[in-house]
Amino acid sequence: MKRSRRVKIVATLGPASQDEKTIEDLARAGADVFRINMSHASHELLAQTVNRIRAVETRLGHPLGVLVDLQGPKLRIGRFAEGSIQLAAGARFTLDSSDAPGTVDRVFMPHPEIIESVGVGDRLLLDDGKLQLRTVKVGGGAIETEVIYGGKLSDRKGVSLPDTLLAMGSLTEKDHADLLKALENEADWIAVSFVQRPEDIIDIRKVVQGRAGVMAKIEKPQAVERLEEIIKLCDAFMVARGDLGVELPLETVPGLQKRMIRVARRYGKPVVVATQMLESMISSPVPTRAEVSDVSIAVFEGADAVMLSAESASGQYPVEAVTMMSKVASAVETDINYRGIIRAQATEPEATAADAISAATRQVAETLDLAAIVTYTSSGSTAIRAARERPSKPILALSPNLRTVRRLSVVWGVHCVETQDAVNLEDMVDRACVIAYQEGFARPGDRIAITAGVPLGTPGATNMLRIAFVRQDGAGSS
């Protein structure tokens, strides 16, 4: 299961792919992390799916990550007397606190926090942005609006508020219950939907308490405005382009994607690019040229992972979609321009011993043409720092912590192996050389770079760089 590709693939599981055989086929085709969307999964299905992923992981002898995506607050209007209405541009339309069936003039807004938070001039987007209203008056438990873009509006359609900071957290009662169940089933990553403010990440960290990585989904304009504050607090984040494209002008999303990937690189946080990457493969065995270009741009920009949603969850060709994504990523990474683009996006290391060692390791490995970079990591931070440098040489991460190994499955270029911690420096060199040989990264006579924290097993204390020769018996000498 050695991957030649550096960027990782996240595949969403659903009705088309959640049986054990298909999960194995997806993993063999190139999926590194499996996403379980709690908008569509029960607690029973969550537990079953995680068990299937772990069974496949054991059979393949290759770590697989589990990402549980919390639904977040779903804001919806009430119902209409006739099931739907037709809104005309320029008409007045009211959203109020009366639960009476809606008419062409008004509808129930079952979220008092929206009525309390919306201001005059704020936009309300309905049905994934197909209809747009602008607030002209607020008061008396109602929002009076003018219809900017009209159309058909039916029962229980979603509401987006791009201009409004809601006085509510991103973690609902359902999310809290789902989160506890995900932690009980040892999920590796928790994705937090509709993050608006840094406090949303702080709230979920209080519950998670280090048992999983916290991934912030950036899909609200309010999150974009406080992007760096949020990124500092989370363990990774996702460029959730679907809702970003609803709440922000579509033409700004590509630039935001590029900016967010670069910010992630600067802070050394893994970043996943998601939504509609190979959308046409839901019903077609081949993608469009534009979709292939979209995936390739994310890879060229240095994203840690690219994600499939409906393509692998409910589409007709889930395995083919993963295979195609893997082929596109591999082609980009062997392109003559790839290394130059990746190097041009490099950022200066932080003024810490760990960052300086990681930067030096990349330079040494490339200057001396070493076979691989081997990092000993307890918490995963050493491997993430090595990946931040985007070296041209493979990164082999060794950890005694299975949870760390699985969590690193979303990180660019990192091949993870669970192994006992080294007992001394000699054992550390031997173990690194043997595993690099066994995993196919080095041959006898090759040299490898080894980074670790001394004393061994100290989380986040990378302070040592060794160069070792792989001997004929696979062991090492420095």
One domain, residues 365 and 471: yes
397 vs 386: CA distance, rounded Å: 9
Residues 168, 113 contacting (CB under 8 angstroms): yes
The residues facing 249 across adjacent strands are none
Q: Give the β-pairing of 151-154 and 395-399.
A: unpaired
Quote the Cα angle for 16-22-23, to 5°.
105
Is residue 186 located within the same domain as residue 295?
Answer: yes
Q: Give yes or no: residues 311 and 372 share one domain.
A: no
pLDDT at res. 188: 98
d(CA 170, CA 274): 19
pTM of the model: 0.94
Does one domain contain both 256 and 325?
Answer: yes
Measured CA to CA, the distance from residue 102 to residue 126 in angstroms comes to: 15
Please tell me the distance from the alpha carbon of residue 5 to that of residue 200, in angstroms, as a whole number.
34
Which pLDDT score, from 0 to 100, does residue 417 have?
95
Q: Would you say residue 306 lies in a domain? A: yes
The answer on 298 and 259 residing in a single domain is yes
Q: What distance in Å separates the CA atoms of residue 304 and residue 409, rounded to the nearest whole number?
A: 10
CATH label of the domain that carries residue 385: 3.40.1380.20
> What integer pLDDT is reported at residue 194 of this predicted model?
94
CATH number reported for the structural domain that contains residue 110 in this entry: 2.40.33.10
H or E segment at 107?
strand 106-108
Residues 371 and 458 reside in one and the same domain:
yes
Residue 166 DSSP code: -
Residue 166 counted as domain residue: no
Residue 63 lies in a domain: yes
Q: Are residues 62 and 91 in the same domain?
A: no
Task: Please tell me whether residues 240 and 271 are part of one structural domain.
Answer: yes
Are 57 and 189 contained in the same domain?
A: yes
Residue finishing a domain among 160, 186, 216: 160
Of 105, 129, 160, which marks where a domain is finished?
160
Ordered mean pLDDT values, 10 residues apiece, the chain (478 residues): 91 97 98 97 98 98 97 94 96 96 96 94 95 96 96 95 88 95 98 95 96 97 96 97 92 96 94 97 98 98 97 98 98 97 87 88 96 94 94 96 97 95 89 94 95 74 88 63
Residue 280 and residue 176 in one domain? yes
* 2 burial type by CB count under 10 A (0-12 exposed, 13-18 middle, 19+ buried): exposed
Domain presence at residue 429? yes
Residue 147 maps to a domain: yes
Q: Which of 110, 131, 160 is the last residue of a domain?
A: 160
The count of structural domains within the chain is 3
Nearest one of 79, 26, 75, 30 to 53, comparing CA atoms: 26
Domain CATH number, residue 306: 3.20.20.60
What's the pLDDT at 202? 95
For Cα atoms 191, 195, 196, give the angle at the middle one, nearest 5 degrees: 170
Comparing C-alpha atoms, which of 274, 300, 279 is closest to residue 215?
274
Range of the domain at 414: 353-477
E strand segments, 257-371:
271-274, 305-308
Q: How far is CA 179 from CA 14, 158, 403, 413, 443, in A?
A: 19, 23, 17, 28, 44
**Shared-domain flag, residues 301 and 260:** yes
pLDDT for the residue 1: 72
The strand order across the sheet containing 447-453 reads 414-418, 395-399, 372-376, 447-453, 462-470, 476-477
Note whether residue 347 is domain-resident.
no
CA distance 186 to 175: 16
Together in a domain, 235 and 372: no
Evaluate whether 8 touches 29 at the Cβ level (below 8 Å).
no
pLDDT for the residue 335: 97
pLDDT recorded at residue 339: 95
Residue found under tokens 């893997």: 326
78 found inside a domain: no
Q: Quick check: is 79 in a domain?
A: no
From the list 82, 129, 135, the residue with the least C-alpha distance to 109 is 135
pLDDT of 421 reads: 85
